Amino acid sequence: MPSPSPPPPVLPISEHEDEIVAAVDANPVVVVIGETGSGKSTQLSQILHRRGYTRRGAIAVTQPRRVAAVSVSRRVAQELGVPLGDEVGYAIRFEDRTSERTCIKYLTDGVLLRESLSNPELKQYSVIILDEAHERSLNTDILLGLMKRLIKDRASDLKVLITSATLDGLKVSKFFSGCPVLNIPGTLFPVEKFYSTERPTNYIESSLRTAIDIHAKEPPGDVLIFMTGKDDIDKMVSKLEERIQNLEEGSCIDALVLPLHGSLPPELQVRVFAPAPPNCRRFIVATNVAETSLTVDGVVFVIDCGYVKQRQYNPSSGMYSLDVVQISRVQADQRAGRAGRTRPGKCYRLYPISIYQNEFLEATVPEIQRTSLAGSVLYLKSLNLPDIDVLKFDFLDPPSRESLEDALRQLYLIDAIDENGQITDVGRVMAELPLEPSLSRTLIEANELGCLSQALTVASILSAEITLRSASKDMDGKRKRQELPDGSGWGDHIQLLQIFESWDQSGYDPKWCSDHDLQVRSMKLSKDVRNQLCQIIKKIAKGSTDVHARKSQKSDPDYRKLRRALSTQLVQVHPSSVLEGDEYGKFPMYVIYHELISTTRPYMRNICAVEQAWVEPILKKLEKLDVNRLSGGSSAPKDSELLVENKQVNTLKKDMDVKQSER
């Protein structure tokens, strides 16, 4: 058994232990507002555990980000001197590291939602802490609404805490009928802010120059650099290392450059929590995970490019865009605050003060207002709450009616709900699967068509959110990849399947991956996800489920069954003009996509050819659809404007050409 790590410095939260416990004793819901790093994530659960709250049930602490759930639980296990997975554990999608003894459980907000499906009262928990509520993730927002209902039923034996670094406490308190708000004063040192006179044309270059300047001129202290995503971070890390090595005048201290983002392997993530070697300045190049989710100690200088990468969903086109957008003022202040944790610090803002004041939004737009709600609406429907009209669900900030209707429409088209908005048997099975609704639907269809095994493989690769990215970019890598299966002309899904099957045939040999320039880690992850999905589907699917990842049946050389199962994904797509497209030949070709995304221009990600006959029943459903009846409320259909028209069916052919030209 590991010995406890040295006691952490007394954190602000711990200094208010009595006050917190008194408030929790006396109230079903308490809001705790405290500076990032004040100990909310790591200490609150331990305090309530010490004070006996785990006698009646476990303490659940939700995190919007997987990386935080893993990292914080690891830290708490260390502080308590117990092995991770025993008294302290974590559960994230596709990974459960808890046991029967676990009494402090860190989990993503999505996993808690899922648990409430099989156990609506969440009886296993005596305390539920919704951590990082300021992130306003979609799932946390839904949990806020559910908690409001739940505390009515379990008023006597459930405590709910909502914690946040920046959230408007009064607003949440009002939402929970005036529950108390505890403000934990932080011990932030002053942070001096420097603004650029104008926006740099290249923020990587500008961050680099600032970082080198700090290294050459400033006293010891770590530097935290905010970038927008993994690619920028990789670029920044290698350029920074190079420049530091070539520094003419040198610096009197050494330097260590560390990346930090959500898709970093865990063993690399923990490096940022280890203290810096003596006489060494660390440069931590991070995404916005370092804004509030993960606190890196020792930072004295912050470089803020003023941007963040954000996914945005447009319900009228069914299209996601992944945009680099300006941060909000709240985010900018959080970023600056990271410099003042241990002593007075400095923050270099690579934008003028006028942009901060006049262009930045006050706060970040909650995810619920910029994402597809199909999964969440299916979830709400599957709860069977007696009086629930999803259009009237009690949200802290309601999503637009348009995006709720978009979600209802999608669910109806994939048979998850019927024309009266009632959840169907198919919908129930779908809700049990930890996948987005369209992929769940594909699995169900595949099971009926007898190609479940193939569909499981495809769903695993897609939902593990991995790209079978090239390990290297050179000619050698390209040559190796040319030897990979090519999808036989049927598209990306089939290619993914063929790649996985070839790897399976090699006996899951890591060398096979490197020989084909594929990342071993990504491939292994998809295999793990596949195993998990197999277990879940065996539990819930009726009848036989053949799930072995063997080479595709010779009897179906064109992958017709799989492609047909995938055609249920068409829901967001609309082939209206394909029928007129003579230039494409007599038989119009349809494709489905996994994701429609707009970057520099719109394109489809992961497409697969399907046949018109498979698509027609779905188009027919569309014609008859009356979205007013789908919400589950009693409101009668009103006007015809809400009827879905065929124009919503997009032509895929066009987008496919775009995609091909980008290849």
Binding site for ligand ADP (CB under 6 A): 8, 11, 34, 36-43, 71-72, 74-75, 273, 295, 297
Q: How far is the CB of 308 from ligand ADP (least distance, A)?
A: 19
Q: What is the dihedral of CA 572, 576, 582, 584, to 10 degrees?
A: 0
Q: How far is the CB of 370 from ligand ADP (least distance, A)?
A: 24
Count Cα neighbours of 406 within 13 Å in the Cβ-side half-sphere.
Answer: 21
Going by C-alpha positions, the residue among 429, 292, 276 that lies closest to residue 284 is 276
Taking the least distance from each CB to ligand ADP, the nearer of 163 and 440 is 163
Nearest-10 crossing angle of helices 40-50, 66-80: 50
Taking the least distance from each CB to ligand ADP, the nearer of 67 and 537 is 67
Count Cα neighbours of 263 within 13 Å in the Cβ-side half-sphere.
Answer: 12
Going by C-alpha positions, the residue among 518, 489, 468, 469 that lies closest to residue 656 is 489
Going by C-alpha positions, the residue among 30, 598, 84 that lies closest to residue 314 is 598
Taking the least distance from each CB to ligand ADP, the nearer of 72 and 286 is 72
The SS3 call for residue 470 is: strand
Check if the beta carbon of residue 285 is closer than 8 Å to that of residue 244.
Answer: no
Taking the least distance from each CB to ligand ADP, the nearer of 34 and 57 is 34
Going by C-alpha positions, the residue among 415, 414, 403, 397 that lies closest to residue 376 is 403
CA distance 162 to 29: 8
Return the bridge partners of 605, or none. 595
Taking the least distance from each CB to ligand ADP, the nearer of 273 and 508 is 273
Taking the least distance from each CB to ligand ADP, the nearer of 41 and 631 is 41
Taking the least distance from each CB to ligand ADP, the nearer of 140 and 569 is 140
**Among all chains, which residue has been given the structure tokens 């970093």?**
264
CA distance 396 to 134: 12
Taking the least distance from each CB to ligand ADP, the nearer of 290 and 452 is 290
CA distance 604 to 619: 20
Q: How far is the CB of 150 from ligand ADP (least distance, A)?
A: 23
Taking the least distance from each CB to ligand ADP, the nearer of 35 and 655 is 35
Taking the least distance from each CB to ligand ADP, the nearer of 38 and 569 is 38
Q: How far is the CB of 179 from ligand ADP (least distance, A)?
A: 20
Length of the chain: 663
Q: How far is the CB of 8 from ligand ADP (least distance, A)?
A: 6
Q: How far is the CB of 123 from ligand ADP (least distance, A)?
A: 27
Q: How far is the CB of 540 from ligand ADP (least distance, A)?
A: 35
CA distance 442 to 452: 9
Q: How far is the CB of 330 from ligand ADP (least distance, A)?
A: 15
Nearest-10 crossing angle of helices 374-382, 109-118: 30
Single-letter amino acid, residue 142: I
The 307-314 sheet, strands edge to edge:
307-314, 319-326, 590-598, 602-610
φ, ψ of residue 163 to 5 degrees: the values are: -120, 150
Taking the least distance from each CB to ligand ADP, the nearer of 11 and 319 is 11
Single-letter amino acid, residue 621: K
Q: How far is the CB of 85 from ligand ADP (least distance, A)?
A: 15
Q: How far is the CB of 71 from ligand ADP (least distance, A)?
A: 4
CA distance 126 to 608: 47
- CB atoms under 10 Å from CB of 322, counted, come to 13
Taking the least distance from each CB to ligand ADP, the nearer of 290 and 618 is 290
Q: How far is the CB of 545 from ligand ADP (least distance, A)?
A: 39
CA distance 59 to 41: 12
Q: How far is the CB of 270 from ligand ADP (least distance, A)?
A: 7
CA distance 144 to 91: 20
Q: How far is the CB of 31 from ligand ADP (least distance, A)?
A: 14
Max CA pair span of the chain = 76
Taking the least distance from each CB to ligand ADP, the nearer of 24 and 72 is 72
Taking the least distance from each CB to ligand ADP, the nearer of 8 and 485 is 8
Question: SS in 3 state form for 529-597?
Answer: HHHHHHHHHHHHCCCCCCCCCCCCCCCCCCCHHHHHHHHHHHHHCCCCHHHHCHHHCCCCCEEEEEEEE
**Among all chains, which residue has been given the structure tokens 């007898």?**
450
Q: How far is the CB of 341 from ligand ADP (least distance, A)?
A: 7
- Residue 507, sorted as left (phi over 0), alpha (psi -120 to 50) or beta, turns out to be left
φ, ψ of residue 411 to 5 degrees: the values are: -65, -35
Taking the least distance from each CB to ligand ADP, the nearer of 38 and 552 is 38
Taking the least distance from each CB to ligand ADP, the nearer of 75 and 154 is 75
Q: How far is the CB of 42 from ligand ADP (least distance, A)?
A: 3
Check if the beta carbon of residue 440 is closer than 8 Å to that of residue 430.
Answer: yes
Q: How far is the CB of 19 from ligand ADP (least distance, A)?
A: 16
Taking the least distance from each CB to ligand ADP, the nearer of 69 and 468 is 69
Q: How far is the CB of 122 from ligand ADP (least distance, A)?
A: 22
Show the CA angle centred on residue 182, arms to residues 180 and 185, nearest 5°.
Answer: 165
* Angstrom distances, CA of residue 376 to CA of 115, 137, 316, 408, 429: 14, 12, 18, 10, 15
